[in-house]
Amino acid sequence: MKEKIFKTITATVEEGNRTAGHQPTWQAPIVGFADAGDPLFGELKQAVRSTHALPRDLLPGARTVIAYFLPFDRAIGRSNHRGEFGSEAWARAYVETNSLIATINEKISDWLETEGFHGTRLPATHNFDKEQLMSDWSHKHVAYIAGIGSFGRHHMLITDKGCCGRIGSVVTDAAIPATPRSDRERCLFKADGSCGKCLERCPILALKDGAYDRHACYDRLMENAGMYERYGLADVCGKCAAIVPCSFCDPVKRAAG
């Protein structure tokens, strides 16, 4: 079952690259699986917000959460290095990836149904509280539980292929073995204090003094959305992720040699 899900996600990504009509948008995905009964899901009610859902809240009888990371092509990350606002390529990739995630979730859930199971069709984003700017289902926290990566100083998930990309997830009542989760550090700042590029890269200083000003960040995202509304809702920035040590790899592992 793991192999079929991985192949479905990979084939959908490859098809998306073929039909995009421009340079490839995505690299090969990273896929992980979490036991829906993992105690860490309950801890998200403290780590994220008190109303964060448990897998069974989204699907009665939930047994597994499938999470996947879609890494952007490196050219997209490089395009977002300069300037005060998000690049056009980054904005377009964001909108196209949200659509791709919807397609992937649809295909996974359709296949699960042919096997006698159920799957959720969760949106990639725009399902958050507009006042607190927090979601009741955090894809990045779910992906952490599924063993895909660990959090950086910029509050993004750092995977073996870095942090430039998007995350999707599906809850299912199919029992799939969980991916082993490693607690090893992937953020250079957290590992030994040797980095802080993401703090420097933020054009509005939303990352400073150990805090994260999510409202200032969101205001900048909406400025970018206005610039790129021709592509859809591109409420993005990504400056803290573009051309920093963790953009395309696990920098702690690379430094260790």
pLDDT per residue as tens digits for the range 28-86: 999 999 999 999 999 999 999 999 999 999 999 999 999 999 999 999 999 999 999 99
In this predicted structure, what is the pLDDT of residue 211?
83
pLDDT band at 100 (very low <50, low <70, confident <90, very high): very high
Encode pLDDT of 220-242 as tens digits: 999 999 999 999 999 999 999 99
pLDDT band at 132 (very low <50, low <70, confident <90, very high): low
What span, in angstroms and rounded, lies between the C-alpha atoms of 253 and 256?
5
In this model, does residue 142 exceed pLDDT 70? yes
**Distance (Å) of CA 23 to CA 17, 76, 92, 94:** 8, 9, 12, 14
**Better-predicted residue by pLDDT, 198 or 209:** 198
Mean pLDDT, all residues of the chain: 93
Q: Check: CB of residue 248 under 8 Å from CB of residue 71.
A: yes
Among candidate residues 69, 67, 179, 157, the one with its CA nearest the CA of residue 120: 67
The pair of structure tokens assigned to 108 is: 């996974």
Residues in the chain: 257
Q: What is the pTM of this model?
A: 0.95
In this predicted structure, what is the pLDDT of residue 28?
97
pLDDT > 90: percent of the chain: 86
Among candidate residues 219, 141, 174, 206, the one with its CA nearest the CA of residue 59: 174
In this model, does residue 141 exceed pLDDT 90? yes
pLDDT band at 208 (very low <50, low <70, confident <90, very high): confident
pLDDT band at 209 (very low <50, low <70, confident <90, very high): confident
Phi-psi region of 175 (alpha: psi -120 to 50; beta: other; left: phi over 0): beta
Q: Check: CB of residue 166 under 8 Å from CB of residue 67.
A: no
- Residues 111-132, mean pLDDT to the nearest whole number: 81
In this predicted structure, what is the pLDDT of residue 182?
86
**Distance (Å) of CA 250 to CA 106, 114, 160, 254:** 30, 37, 5, 6
pLDDT band at 126 (very low <50, low <70, confident <90, very high): low
